[in-house]
Amino acid sequence: MTSTEEKPIVVSWEGDDDPENPRNWSRTQKWIVTGLISVNVMLSHISSTMIAPAARNVAMDLGSTTPIFEPLLTSIFFLGHAFVLSYFGAIFYVCGHSRTVQLGNMFYIIFNLVCAFAKTPDQMLWFRFLAGIGGSVPLSLGGRVINSCWSGKDLNGPKHLYTLALLLAPIVGPIAGAWITMKTTWRWIFWTTSIASTLIQVGHFFWLRETFAPIILARKAKRLQNASSGEENVRYVTSNQQNPFNDSVYKFLLLYPVCLLVTEPIIQLTGIYLAYMADLLYFPQSCFLGHISDILTVILTSIPGIFVGVYHESIGIAGLHYIAFGIGLYGGAQIANAIQDNLYRRLSAHYGTDDCPEFRIPLMLPATLFVATGLLIAGWSVSSGVYWVVTDIGFVITGIGITVNWQTMQRYIMYTYAVRTSSALEGVSILRSVVAFALPLCSPSLSAIMIFRTSFKT
Protein backbone atom coordinates (compact mmCIF):
# COMPACT_ATOMS: atom_id res chain seq x y z
CA MET A 1 0.00 0.00 0.00
CA THR A 2 1.41 3.42 -0.93
CA SER A 3 1.77 6.27 1.47
CA THR A 4 -0.91 8.15 -0.48
CA GLU A 5 -3.34 5.37 0.28
CA GLU A 6 -2.38 5.42 3.94
CA LYS A 7 -2.82 9.19 4.18
CA PRO A 8 -5.75 10.27 2.03
CA ILE A 9 -6.19 13.92 1.16
CA VAL A 10 -8.53 15.53 3.67
CA VAL A 11 -11.04 17.97 2.19
CA SER A 12 -11.93 21.03 4.24
CA TRP A 13 -12.94 24.63 3.65
CA GLU A 14 -10.54 26.57 1.45
CA GLY A 15 -9.86 29.28 3.98
CA ASP A 16 -12.25 31.50 5.89
CA ASP A 17 -13.72 32.90 2.67
CA ASP A 18 -14.63 29.61 0.98
CA PRO A 19 -17.82 30.42 -1.02
CA GLU A 20 -19.15 26.89 -0.40
CA ASN A 21 -19.32 27.57 3.33
CA PRO A 22 -22.94 28.62 4.09
CA ARG A 23 -21.68 31.42 6.31
CA ASN A 24 -19.95 32.96 3.28
CA TRP A 25 -22.99 32.94 1.02
CA SER A 26 -24.42 36.28 -0.07
CA ARG A 27 -26.82 37.91 2.35
CA THR A 28 -29.59 37.46 -0.20
CA GLN A 29 -29.04 33.69 -0.31
CA LYS A 30 -28.90 33.43 3.46
CA TRP A 31 -32.06 35.48 3.94
CA ILE A 32 -33.91 33.35 1.39
CA VAL A 33 -32.98 30.21 3.34
CA THR A 34 -33.89 31.89 6.64
CA GLY A 35 -37.23 33.06 5.28
CA LEU A 36 -38.12 29.65 3.84
CA ILE A 37 -37.29 27.83 7.07
CA SER A 38 -39.09 30.39 9.25
CA VAL A 39 -42.27 30.20 7.16
CA ASN A 40 -42.06 26.40 7.12
CA VAL A 41 -41.72 26.26 10.91
CA MET A 42 -44.56 28.73 11.34
CA LEU A 43 -46.83 26.63 9.12
CA SER A 44 -45.98 23.49 11.10
CA HIS A 45 -46.98 25.23 14.33
CA ILE A 46 -50.12 26.64 12.75
CA SER A 47 -51.12 23.15 11.62
CA SER A 48 -50.99 21.88 15.18
CA THR A 49 -53.68 24.31 16.41
CA MET A 50 -55.59 25.44 13.33
CA ILE A 51 -58.00 22.48 13.50
CA ALA A 52 -58.84 23.09 17.16
CA PRO A 53 -61.78 25.50 16.66
CA ALA A 54 -63.34 22.95 14.29
CA ALA A 55 -62.86 19.92 16.55
CA ARG A 56 -66.56 19.67 17.42
CA ASN A 57 -67.51 19.90 13.73
CA VAL A 58 -65.00 17.17 12.87
CA ALA A 59 -66.34 14.91 15.63
CA MET A 60 -69.93 15.39 14.46
CA ASP A 61 -69.13 14.80 10.77
CA LEU A 62 -67.09 11.68 11.49
CA GLY A 63 -69.58 10.31 14.00
CA SER A 64 -67.30 10.33 17.04
CA THR A 65 -68.95 10.18 20.46
CA THR A 66 -65.75 9.67 22.48
CA PRO A 67 -65.06 12.69 24.73
CA ILE A 68 -61.29 12.54 24.26
CA PHE A 69 -61.48 12.65 20.44
CA GLU A 70 -61.68 16.43 20.33
CA PRO A 71 -58.61 17.22 22.49
CA LEU A 72 -56.79 14.26 20.91
CA LEU A 73 -57.36 15.71 17.45
CA THR A 74 -55.06 18.59 18.34
CA SER A 75 -52.64 17.04 20.82
CA ILE A 76 -51.74 13.97 18.75
CA PHE A 77 -49.80 16.28 16.42
CA PHE A 78 -47.34 16.81 19.29
CA LEU A 79 -46.91 13.09 19.76
CA GLY A 80 -45.53 13.07 16.23
CA HIS A 81 -42.96 15.64 17.34
CA ALA A 82 -41.82 13.41 20.21
CA PHE A 83 -41.63 10.46 17.80
CA VAL A 84 -39.40 12.41 15.40
CA LEU A 85 -37.02 13.48 18.17
CA SER A 86 -36.89 9.98 19.67
CA TYR A 87 -36.31 7.97 16.50
CA PHE A 88 -35.23 10.28 13.67
CA GLY A 89 -33.33 13.05 15.43
CA ALA A 90 -29.98 12.07 13.87
CA ILE A 91 -31.12 11.41 10.28
CA PHE A 92 -29.83 14.77 9.09
CA TYR A 93 -26.28 13.60 9.90
CA VAL A 94 -26.68 11.16 7.02
CA CYS A 95 -29.00 13.04 4.63
CA GLY A 96 -28.17 16.65 5.41
CA HIS A 97 -30.45 19.51 6.38
CA SER A 98 -31.98 20.24 2.98
CA ARG A 99 -33.01 16.71 2.06
CA THR A 100 -34.31 15.93 5.54
CA VAL A 101 -36.47 19.08 5.64
CA GLN A 102 -37.83 18.41 2.15
CA LEU A 103 -38.59 14.76 2.92
CA GLY A 104 -40.35 15.74 6.15
CA ASN A 105 -42.30 18.45 4.38
CA MET A 106 -43.43 16.04 1.66
CA PHE A 107 -44.48 13.52 4.31
CA TYR A 108 -46.51 16.26 6.01
CA ILE A 109 -48.18 17.39 2.77
CA ILE A 110 -49.32 13.86 1.91
CA PHE A 111 -50.85 12.98 5.28
CA ASN A 112 -52.17 16.47 6.04
CA LEU A 113 -53.98 16.39 2.70
CA VAL A 114 -55.54 12.99 3.30
CA CYS A 115 -56.85 14.27 6.67
CA ALA A 116 -59.36 16.25 4.60
CA PHE A 117 -60.69 13.00 3.13
CA ALA A 118 -60.90 11.04 6.39
CA LYS A 119 -64.16 9.11 6.81
CA THR A 120 -63.78 7.76 10.35
CA PRO A 121 -62.34 9.08 13.65
CA ASP A 122 -59.60 6.43 13.58
CA GLN A 123 -58.49 7.46 10.11
CA MET A 124 -58.38 11.11 11.14
CA LEU A 125 -56.26 10.45 14.23
CA TRP A 126 -53.78 8.24 12.36
CA PHE A 127 -53.44 10.78 9.57
CA ARG A 128 -52.96 13.61 12.10
CA PHE A 129 -50.26 11.64 13.89
CA LEU A 130 -48.41 10.94 10.62
CA ALA A 131 -48.80 14.55 9.52
CA GLY A 132 -47.33 15.55 12.89
CA ILE A 133 -44.26 13.42 12.20
CA GLY A 134 -43.63 15.18 8.90
CA GLY A 135 -44.50 18.61 10.24
CA SER A 136 -42.12 18.22 13.16
CA VAL A 137 -39.02 17.81 10.98
CA PRO A 138 -38.61 21.53 10.17
CA LEU A 139 -39.30 22.31 13.83
CA SER A 140 -36.38 20.06 14.79
CA LEU A 141 -33.96 21.42 12.19
CA GLY A 142 -34.98 25.05 11.74
CA GLY A 143 -32.60 26.44 14.35
CA ARG A 144 -29.72 24.31 13.07
CA VAL A 145 -30.20 25.55 9.50
CA ILE A 146 -30.17 29.20 10.58
CA ASN A 147 -27.13 28.72 12.84
CA SER A 148 -25.29 27.11 9.91
CA CYS A 149 -25.77 30.24 7.78
CA TRP A 150 -25.19 33.03 10.26
CA SER A 151 -22.70 33.79 13.02
CA GLY A 152 -21.97 36.45 15.60
CA LYS A 153 -23.98 39.65 15.52
CA ASP A 154 -25.36 38.78 12.08
CA LEU A 155 -27.39 36.04 13.78
CA ASN A 156 -29.60 38.49 15.70
CA GLY A 157 -31.87 39.50 12.79
CA PRO A 158 -32.49 35.94 11.52
CA LYS A 159 -32.99 34.73 15.10
CA HIS A 160 -35.64 37.39 15.70
CA LEU A 161 -37.44 36.47 12.47
CA TYR A 162 -37.41 32.80 13.45
CA THR A 163 -38.62 33.61 16.97
CA LEU A 164 -41.37 35.83 15.58
CA ALA A 165 -42.57 32.94 13.40
CA LEU A 166 -42.73 30.69 16.46
CA LEU A 167 -44.62 33.28 18.49
CA LEU A 168 -47.14 34.19 15.80
CA ALA A 169 -48.04 30.61 14.92
CA PRO A 170 -50.18 29.71 17.98
CA ILE A 171 -52.11 32.94 17.46
CA VAL A 172 -52.57 32.85 13.68
CA GLY A 173 -53.61 29.18 13.69
CA PRO A 174 -56.75 29.43 15.85
CA ILE A 175 -57.82 32.73 14.26
CA ALA A 176 -57.55 31.32 10.74
CA GLY A 177 -59.18 28.04 11.80
CA ALA A 178 -62.12 29.87 13.36
CA TRP A 179 -62.83 31.96 10.27
CA ILE A 180 -62.43 29.04 7.86
CA THR A 181 -64.78 26.94 9.99
CA MET A 182 -67.34 29.73 10.11
CA LYS A 183 -67.23 30.52 6.39
CA THR A 184 -66.69 27.10 4.77
CA THR A 185 -65.97 23.61 6.12
CA TRP A 186 -63.31 22.16 8.39
CA ARG A 187 -61.88 20.21 5.44
CA TRP A 188 -60.63 23.47 3.98
CA ILE A 189 -58.31 23.81 6.97
CA PHE A 190 -56.33 20.83 5.69
CA TRP A 191 -56.58 21.87 2.06
CA THR A 192 -55.28 25.39 2.71
CA THR A 193 -52.36 24.26 4.86
CA SER A 194 -51.45 21.59 2.29
CA ILE A 195 -51.50 24.15 -0.52
CA ALA A 196 -49.32 26.53 1.50
CA SER A 197 -46.90 23.74 2.36
CA THR A 198 -46.69 22.73 -1.31
CA LEU A 199 -45.69 26.28 -2.24
CA ILE A 200 -43.03 26.18 0.48
CA GLN A 201 -41.82 22.83 -0.87
CA VAL A 202 -41.40 24.38 -4.33
CA GLY A 203 -39.33 27.12 -2.72
CA HIS A 204 -37.23 24.50 -0.93
CA PHE A 205 -36.63 22.65 -4.19
CA PHE A 206 -35.25 25.72 -5.95
CA TRP A 207 -33.62 27.76 -3.19
CA LEU A 208 -32.96 25.67 -0.07
CA ARG A 209 -29.31 24.77 -0.49
CA GLU A 210 -27.56 22.31 1.79
CA THR A 211 -26.28 23.99 4.97
CA PHE A 212 -24.81 21.03 6.90
CA ALA A 213 -21.02 21.35 6.59
CA PRO A 214 -20.08 17.61 6.71
CA ILE A 215 -22.50 16.84 3.86
CA ILE A 216 -21.22 19.77 1.76
CA LEU A 217 -17.62 18.65 2.26
CA ALA A 218 -18.49 15.00 1.55
CA ARG A 219 -20.00 16.04 -1.79
CA LYS A 220 -16.93 18.12 -2.52
CA ALA A 221 -14.69 15.13 -1.75
CA LYS A 222 -16.76 12.96 -4.08
CA ARG A 223 -16.41 15.51 -6.90
CA LEU A 224 -12.66 15.63 -6.42
CA GLN A 225 -12.50 11.83 -6.32
CA ASN A 226 -14.40 11.59 -9.61
CA ALA A 227 -12.15 14.23 -11.18
CA SER A 228 -9.03 12.27 -10.17
CA SER A 229 -10.27 8.91 -11.47
CA GLY A 230 -7.09 8.46 -13.43
CA GLU A 231 -5.03 8.55 -10.25
CA GLU A 232 -5.96 5.26 -8.64
CA ASN A 233 -4.06 5.88 -5.42
CA VAL A 234 -5.57 9.26 -4.61
CA ARG A 235 -8.45 9.34 -2.12
CA TYR A 236 -10.27 12.45 -0.97
CA VAL A 237 -12.10 12.32 2.33
CA THR A 238 -13.51 14.77 4.84
CA SER A 239 -12.53 14.82 8.49
CA ASN A 240 -15.88 13.15 9.17
CA GLN A 241 -15.01 10.31 6.82
CA GLN A 242 -11.73 9.75 8.63
CA ASN A 243 -13.91 9.08 11.68
CA PRO A 244 -16.78 7.30 9.92
CA PHE A 245 -20.41 7.91 10.82
CA ASN A 246 -21.11 4.25 11.58
CA ASP A 247 -23.96 2.49 13.32
CA SER A 248 -22.49 2.98 16.77
CA VAL A 249 -22.18 6.75 16.26
CA TYR A 250 -25.74 6.92 14.94
CA LYS A 251 -27.05 4.94 17.91
CA PHE A 252 -25.21 7.28 20.27
CA LEU A 253 -26.73 10.37 18.64
CA LEU A 254 -30.12 8.68 18.64
CA LEU A 255 -30.08 7.55 22.26
CA TYR A 256 -28.17 10.37 23.94
CA PRO A 257 -31.17 12.76 24.27
CA VAL A 258 -33.23 9.92 25.76
CA CYS A 259 -30.37 9.03 28.14
CA LEU A 260 -30.18 12.65 29.30
CA LEU A 261 -33.93 12.68 29.78
CA VAL A 262 -33.85 9.51 31.90
CA THR A 263 -30.79 10.35 34.00
CA GLU A 264 -30.74 14.15 34.38
CA PRO A 265 -33.20 15.70 36.88
CA ILE A 266 -32.57 19.12 35.32
CA ILE A 267 -33.85 17.87 31.96
CA GLN A 268 -36.84 16.19 33.60
CA LEU A 269 -37.90 19.21 35.66
CA THR A 270 -37.30 21.64 32.81
CA GLY A 271 -39.25 19.43 30.42
CA ILE A 272 -42.23 19.20 32.79
CA TYR A 273 -42.20 22.96 33.43
CA LEU A 274 -41.98 23.83 29.73
CA ALA A 275 -44.72 21.28 29.03
CA TYR A 276 -46.88 23.15 31.53
CA MET A 277 -46.19 26.36 29.64
CA ALA A 278 -46.90 24.62 26.34
CA ASP A 279 -50.26 23.46 27.66
CA LEU A 280 -51.02 27.04 28.60
CA LEU A 281 -50.53 27.83 24.91
CA TYR A 282 -51.54 25.15 22.54
CA PHE A 283 -54.97 23.68 23.03
CA PRO A 284 -57.82 25.99 21.93
CA GLN A 285 -60.68 23.55 21.75
CA SER A 286 -62.39 22.50 24.97
CA CYS A 287 -64.19 25.67 26.02
CA PHE A 288 -64.75 26.60 22.41
CA LEU A 289 -66.80 23.46 22.15
CA GLY A 290 -68.68 24.05 25.37
CA HIS A 291 -66.40 21.97 27.58
CA ILE A 292 -64.61 23.12 30.68
CA SER A 293 -60.86 23.59 30.66
CA ASP A 294 -58.40 23.20 33.48
CA ILE A 295 -55.57 25.52 34.37
CA LEU A 296 -53.17 23.63 32.10
CA THR A 297 -55.23 24.31 29.00
CA VAL A 298 -56.67 27.59 30.11
CA ILE A 299 -55.40 30.24 27.71
CA LEU A 300 -55.95 29.23 24.12
CA THR A 301 -58.46 26.64 25.21
CA SER A 302 -60.65 29.24 26.86
CA ILE A 303 -60.39 32.31 24.65
CA PRO A 304 -63.08 31.28 22.13
CA GLY A 305 -65.48 30.02 24.80
CA ILE A 306 -65.12 33.20 26.84
CA PHE A 307 -65.88 35.62 24.05
CA VAL A 308 -68.57 33.49 22.44
CA GLY A 309 -70.27 32.30 25.64
CA VAL A 310 -69.77 35.27 27.97
CA TYR A 311 -69.41 38.29 25.67
CA HIS A 312 -71.70 36.83 22.97
CA GLU A 313 -69.38 37.48 20.03
CA SER A 314 -69.30 35.51 16.79
CA ILE A 315 -66.74 32.75 16.33
CA GLY A 316 -64.61 34.83 13.97
CA ILE A 317 -64.61 37.97 16.12
CA ALA A 318 -63.89 35.92 19.24
CA GLY A 319 -60.84 34.51 17.49
CA LEU A 320 -59.40 38.02 17.08
CA HIS A 321 -58.81 38.17 20.83
CA TYR A 322 -55.86 35.83 20.29
CA ILE A 323 -54.09 38.98 19.11
CA ALA A 324 -53.95 40.20 22.72
CA PHE A 325 -52.21 37.03 23.76
CA GLY A 326 -49.88 37.34 20.76
CA ILE A 327 -48.90 40.85 21.86
CA GLY A 328 -47.96 39.40 25.24
CA LEU A 329 -45.91 36.63 23.69
CA TYR A 330 -43.99 39.03 21.46
CA GLY A 331 -43.53 41.56 24.25
CA GLY A 332 -42.21 38.83 26.54
CA ALA A 333 -39.62 37.85 23.93
CA GLN A 334 -38.37 41.44 23.71
CA ILE A 335 -38.24 41.78 27.50
CA ALA A 336 -36.33 38.52 27.86
CA ASN A 337 -33.81 39.53 25.19
CA ALA A 338 -33.29 42.94 26.80
CA ILE A 339 -32.95 41.80 30.42
CA GLN A 340 -31.45 38.30 30.45
CA ASP A 341 -27.90 39.05 29.35
CA ASN A 342 -27.70 42.25 31.41
CA LEU A 343 -28.88 40.42 34.53
CA TYR A 344 -26.39 37.62 33.89
CA ARG A 345 -23.49 40.08 33.57
CA ARG A 346 -24.44 41.87 36.78
CA LEU A 347 -24.70 38.68 38.81
CA SER A 348 -21.44 37.37 37.33
CA ALA A 349 -19.64 40.59 38.27
CA HIS A 350 -21.15 40.58 41.77
CA TYR A 351 -20.13 36.99 42.54
CA GLY A 352 -16.86 37.05 40.60
CA THR A 353 -17.63 34.24 38.17
CA ASP A 354 -18.85 34.10 34.59
CA ASP A 355 -19.54 30.37 34.41
CA CYS A 356 -22.75 29.89 36.39
CA PRO A 357 -25.84 28.97 34.34
CA GLU A 358 -28.00 29.41 37.45
CA PHE A 359 -27.62 33.18 37.02
CA ARG A 360 -30.14 32.80 34.19
CA ILE A 361 -32.85 31.53 36.53
CA PRO A 362 -33.82 34.58 38.71
CA LEU A 363 -35.88 36.06 35.87
CA MET A 364 -38.27 33.12 36.23
CA LEU A 365 -39.64 34.45 39.53
CA PRO A 366 -41.22 37.66 38.18
CA ALA A 367 -42.19 35.82 34.98
CA THR A 368 -44.11 33.18 36.96
CA LEU A 369 -45.84 35.94 38.94
CA PHE A 370 -46.84 37.52 35.62
CA VAL A 371 -48.45 34.24 34.53
CA ALA A 372 -50.43 33.93 37.77
CA THR A 373 -51.41 37.61 37.83
CA GLY A 374 -52.59 37.56 34.23
CA LEU A 375 -54.72 34.48 34.81
CA LEU A 376 -56.30 36.01 37.92
CA ILE A 377 -57.12 39.26 36.10
CA ALA A 378 -58.66 37.36 33.19
CA GLY A 379 -60.62 35.05 35.48
CA TRP A 380 -61.91 37.87 37.66
CA SER A 381 -62.99 39.98 34.68
CA VAL A 382 -64.87 37.08 33.09
CA SER A 383 -66.63 36.04 36.31
CA SER A 384 -67.59 39.65 37.09
CA GLY A 385 -68.72 40.52 33.58
CA VAL A 386 -66.17 43.33 33.30
CA TYR A 387 -65.56 44.92 29.89
CA TRP A 388 -63.66 42.57 27.55
CA VAL A 389 -60.60 44.84 27.36
CA VAL A 390 -59.70 43.89 30.94
CA THR A 391 -59.76 40.21 29.98
CA ASP A 392 -57.44 40.94 27.07
CA ILE A 393 -55.08 42.81 29.40
CA GLY A 394 -54.93 39.70 31.56
CA PHE A 395 -53.99 37.62 28.51
CA VAL A 396 -51.27 40.12 27.54
CA ILE A 397 -49.70 39.86 31.01
CA THR A 398 -49.90 36.06 30.94
CA GLY A 399 -48.32 35.94 27.49
CA ILE A 400 -45.38 38.02 28.70
CA GLY A 401 -44.79 35.67 31.63
CA ILE A 402 -45.00 32.51 29.51
CA THR A 403 -42.47 33.72 26.93
CA VAL A 404 -39.98 35.03 29.50
CA ASN A 405 -40.19 31.71 31.37
CA TRP A 406 -39.79 29.76 28.15
CA GLN A 407 -36.71 31.67 26.95
CA THR A 408 -35.11 31.69 30.40
CA MET A 409 -35.33 27.91 30.74
CA GLN A 410 -34.03 27.40 27.20
CA ARG A 411 -31.01 29.61 27.92
CA TYR A 412 -30.40 27.79 31.20
CA ILE A 413 -30.30 24.43 29.42
CA MET A 414 -28.03 25.81 26.69
CA TYR A 415 -25.45 27.09 29.16
CA THR A 416 -25.69 24.08 31.49
CA TYR A 417 -25.08 21.52 28.72
CA ALA A 418 -22.83 23.69 26.55
CA VAL A 419 -21.16 20.87 24.59
CA ARG A 420 -24.35 18.80 24.31
CA THR A 421 -26.86 21.61 23.96
CA SER A 422 -28.65 20.02 21.01
CA SER A 423 -29.12 16.68 22.75
CA ALA A 424 -30.23 18.36 25.99
CA LEU A 425 -32.82 20.50 24.21
CA GLU A 426 -34.03 17.44 22.30
CA GLY A 427 -34.46 15.58 25.58
CA VAL A 428 -36.49 18.47 26.98
CA SER A 429 -38.55 18.62 23.78
CA ILE A 430 -39.33 14.90 23.92
CA LEU A 431 -40.73 15.16 27.45
CA ARG A 432 -42.48 18.44 26.67
CA SER A 433 -44.15 16.96 23.59
CA VAL A 434 -45.27 13.79 25.37
CA VAL A 435 -46.73 15.74 28.30
CA ALA A 436 -48.30 18.28 25.93
CA PHE A 437 -49.92 15.35 24.13
CA ALA A 438 -51.18 13.62 27.28
CA LEU A 439 -52.42 16.40 29.57
CA PRO A 440 -55.19 17.80 27.34
CA LEU A 441 -56.76 14.33 27.27
CA CYS A 442 -57.65 14.89 30.93
CA SER A 443 -59.84 17.93 30.21
CA PRO A 444 -63.07 16.01 29.42
CA SER A 445 -62.82 14.18 32.76
CA LEU A 446 -61.97 17.33 34.65
CA SER A 447 -64.95 19.06 33.08
CA ALA A 448 -67.24 16.84 35.15
CA ILE A 449 -65.94 18.27 38.40
CA MET A 450 -64.91 21.82 37.54
CA ILE A 451 -66.91 24.82 36.43
CA PHE A 452 -65.86 27.29 33.79
CA ARG A 453 -64.80 30.17 36.01
CA THR A 454 -62.91 28.13 38.57
CA SER A 455 -60.56 26.88 35.89
CA PHE A 456 -59.17 30.43 35.81
CA LYS A 457 -59.06 30.86 39.58
CA THR A 458 -57.42 27.55 40.48
Q: Is the pLDDT of residue 287 over 60?
A: no
DSSP string, 411-452: HHHHHHTSTTHHHHHHHHHHHHHHHHHHGGGGHHHHTTT--T
Q: Indicate if the pLDDT at residue 243 is higher than 70.
A: no
Region 11-18: mean pLDDT is 83
For residue range 355-382, list pLDDT tens digits in order.
Answer: 788 888 888 889 989 988 988 888 888 7
DSSP string, 27-38: HHHHHHHHHHHH
**Cβ count within 10 A of residue 295:** 18
Residue predicted with more confidence, 121 or 262: 121
Domains, in order of start, for the chain? 13-211 (1.20.1250.20), 255-457 (1.20.1250)
Backbone angles phi, psi at 171, to 5 degrees: -95, -45
Question: Which amino acid is present at 246?
Answer: N
Contact 417, 401 (CB under 8 A): no
In terms of pLDDT, which residue wins out, 89 or 362? Answer: 362
- pLDDT at position 301 is 55
Per-residue pLDDT reduced to its tens digit, 125-144: 999 999 999 998 888 888 88
Residue 254 clears pLDDT 50, i.e. is over it: yes
Question: Considering the chain, what is the average pLDDT of its residues?
Answer: 79
Neighbours of 265 (CB within 10 A): 7
Write the pLDDT tens digit of every residue in 31-84. Answer: 999 999 999 999 988 888 888 778 888 989 999 888 788 778 888 888 888 877
CA-closest candidate to residue 144, choices 130, 131, 160, 162: 162
Q: What is the mean pLDDT of residues 436-450?
A: 60
Mean pLDDT throughout 226-255? 59
Answer with the residue of higher pLDDT: 205 or 319. Answer: 205
pLDDT tens for 265-278 read 888 888 888 777 76
Q: What is the pLDDT of residue 284?
A: 37
pLDDT of residue 31: 95
Mean pLDDT to the nearest integer, 280-296: 39
Say how many residues make up the chain: 458
Distance from C-alpha of 368 to C-alpha of 363, rounded to nearest angstrom: 9
% of the chain with per-residue pLDDT over 90 = 21
Distance (Å, whole) CA 262 – CA 258: 6
pLDDT of residue 305: 65
The reported pLDDT for the residue numbered 289 is 33
Going from the C-alpha of 58 to that of each of 43, 53, 132, 201, 396, the distances in angstroms are 21, 10, 18, 28, 31
Instruction: Say yes or no to pLDDT of 451 above 60.
Output: no
pLDDT of 290 over the 50 cut: no
- Mean pLDDT across 149-157: 81
Taking the alpha carbons at both ends of the chain, their separation in whole angstroms is: 75
Give the pLDDT score at 446. Answer: 53
In this predicted structure, the answer to whether residue 345 has a pLDDT above a threshold of 80 is yes
